[in-house]
A and B are shown apart, each in its own frame.
Chain A
Amino acid sequence: MTTIDALEPLKADYLTTRWSIRSWLLSVDHKRIAMLYLISITGYFFIGGSNSSHPRPILSPATSTTGCSRCTAW
């Protein structure tokens, strides 16, 4: 950490103290864990978003288990 301090003109912050992937995936720093969440949640947001354009055709009246469109709304 001190060596990085010497190299960096800026004071080391939580993003720059260590660079290895391991230091991110095994970090116990709440700020780094927040960034891990930020990245993964953004991924899920776009997975979920792309799912929104695929309505489930199974519950259309013709294929419902009861044959009654009002009753298919599980």
Chain B
Amino acid sequence: MHGVVMVWFFLVPSIPAVLGNFLIPLMIGARDVAFPRLNLLSWYLFMIGGIMAVAAIVAGGVDTGWTFYTPYSTTYANSAVVPMVAGIFIAGFSSILTGINFIVTVHTMRTRGMTWFRMPLFVWAMYATSLVMVLATPVLAITLSLVAVERLWGVGIFDPALGGDPILFQHLFWFYSHPAVYIMILPSMGVISELVTCFSRNQIFGYKFIAFSSLAIAALGFLVWGHHMFVSGQSIYASLVFSMLSFMVAIPSGVKVFNWIVTLRNGTISYKTPMLYALGFVGLFTVGGLTGLFLASLAVDIHVHDTYFVVAHFHYIMVGSAVMAYLGGIHYWWPKMTGRTYPEKWGVFSAVLLFLGFNLTFFPQFVLGYMGMVRRVAEYPPEFQVLNVLSSAGASILGVAYLIPLIYLTHSLLMPRTAGPNPWNAKGLEWTTASPPPEHNFDEPPTVTEPPYNYEQEAVAVALSAGPPEEGPDHGRTGQENA
């Protein structure tokens, strides 16, 4: 249930539905998304699906894990599988409609002068994500429907006794769910591209490479689903191809990481709260991505398959990367979204605490998994106790680090609107309008005349004068240190 809720009701909609909805029209100079009513419908579908999922949890939940593997989910599980898959099915339409909306918005609503290569990289990332949402989510919808059909009416699709094939489910499920990993991580990469650029006061290095690497990840994401099935009995030749394609995903991901690092290297870094989240992302994503290569290697995967090594790996991607980027993005655009600023000291404190708590929680799990502790089993041998206790201790720190921003961000809503239109002195159309923006976004449609992230001249000026740092929404430090 943890997996179901986190994947479909938090990670998939988090950055696209919150930051994407808020920012895409602002970033491309539009008045709204292309289909505003469809956008509202998406939220209602999301809520209906979510309420069904919560109802299924209240009714006892599911014991299948978020993957609903057959034949357990179709034949043996004695839990609320049908209500749960129905909830996910409905929420899936929210995802599809949001994706369609964003694709059409990016194609048709860009303002004068906003060419494709002047779009912020966040918009590029969201565009790639939307393509994956539209192309992959229908496969999940039909797969989960087939599970429900087999459970309810005994139609033989996955049960061998009825002439079905349980492995077919894994193929169908991962054909969606691996691309879904990129639905969760691509938007975060877009956020990080924005944060790294703004807080190093530097033009992004290799704009086109980052833009196209988003599309490359989206495309490759459809070709690697078999790496979840190395021990399912699939052909060794299929496994070899899937292994090679999985390694290839590391190329566009590496392009992004190296480009961020070069951007930082040439920049004037200020360690504001969003930047701390962004730097945390770069480190944790690198760990998560590199351990993904371990898992893509056939021989290593057979050893660590279904162990805590896998659990640690995907939490480094899903929590250490996706959630970090979501929080970084929320902190960065909070002044724009609400007109309020938050206490910078608390922001820095919780960002650091989150990083420490996260690593304490999940790093021991790499060790545990490598030593052979299996997933999805509550008991473990006594020699694993110490590392498990460390991990639990980290989880409580992590929990506190999530609650602190919830408290101070909510509290900031009681404060006056003092942020101003551009508290970070950032580039991009969203910073040219008021904070919070008027209902129609821009008083008159903006015209774009300069390349994206045109920080260079200003960086030179700051470096030369070393004058007072720009006004930020912080009440504490305003570090302007050279990288």
Contact = CB atoms under 8 A, between A and B. Distances in A.
B271 interface: no
Interface string B64-80: 11010100100010000
Given A60-B379, A61-B377, A29 B438 contact: no
Interface in A30-74: 30-31, 33-38, 40-42, 44-49, 51-61, 65, 69-70, 72-74
Given A13-B439, A28-B39, A37 B46 contact: yes
A31 B21 CA distance: 7
Given A41-B17, A44-B50, A51-B1, A57 B378 contact: yes
A54 to B, nearest CB: 8
Contacts of B370: none
B33 A59 contact: no
Contacts of B113: none
Residue among A28, A34, A72 with most chain B CB within 10 A: A34
Contact of A44 (B10, B39, B377): B10
Nearest to B7: A48
B243 to A, nearest CB: 21
Contacts of A51: 1-2, 5, 57
Contacts of A11: 434, 438
Interface in B238-274: none
Residue among B5, B374, B377, B441 with most chain A CB within 10 A: B377
B70 to A, nearest CB: 9
B22 interface: yes
Interface residues of B, number: 57
A53 B395 contact: yes
A37 B13 contact: yes
Nearest to B76: A65
Given A40-B47, A74-B67, A56 B21 contact: no
B2 A52 contact: yes
Given A10-B417, A28-B40, A33-B21, A74 B439 contact: no
A45 B434 contact: no
Interface of A: 10-15, 17, 26-31, 33-38, 40-42, 44-49, 51-61, 65, 69-70, 72-74
Given A37-B46, A59-B377, A42 B395 contact: no
Contacts of B36: 28-30
A29 B32 contact: yes
A54 B2 CA distance: 8
A42 B9 CA distance: 10
Contact of B439 (A17, A37, A53, A65): A17
B39 A38 contact: no
A65 B76 CA distance: 9
12 contacts: A15-B339, A28-B37, A30-B21, A30-B33, A33-B39, A34-B17, A41-B18, A44-B6, A45-B10, A47-B57, A51-B57, A57-B378
A1 B459 CA distance: 42
B376 interface: yes
B441 to A, nearest CB: 8
Nearest to A73: B306
A37 B10 contact: no
A72 to B, nearest CB: 6
Given A30-B21, A61-B379, A13 B434 contact: yes
B130 to A, nearest CB: 14
B351 to A, nearest CB: 17
Contact of B437 (A31, A44, A55, A60): A31
A74 to B, nearest CB: 5
A26 B434 CA distance: 24
B25 A48 contact: no
B22 A30 contact: yes
Contacts of B64: 74
A62 B67 CA distance: 22
Nearest to A57: B378
A8 to B, nearest CB: 11
Contacts of B43: 33, 36-37, 40
B22 A31 contact: yes
B178 interface: no
B339 A34 contact: no
A41 B345 CA distance: 25
Contacts of A40: 43, 46-47, 50
Nearest to B307: A73
A32 to B, nearest CB: 9
A31 B434 contact: no
B409 to A, nearest CB: 10
A60 B378 contact: yes
B376 A74 contact: yes
Nearest to A51: B2
Interface string B15-28: 00111011011000
B14 interface: yes
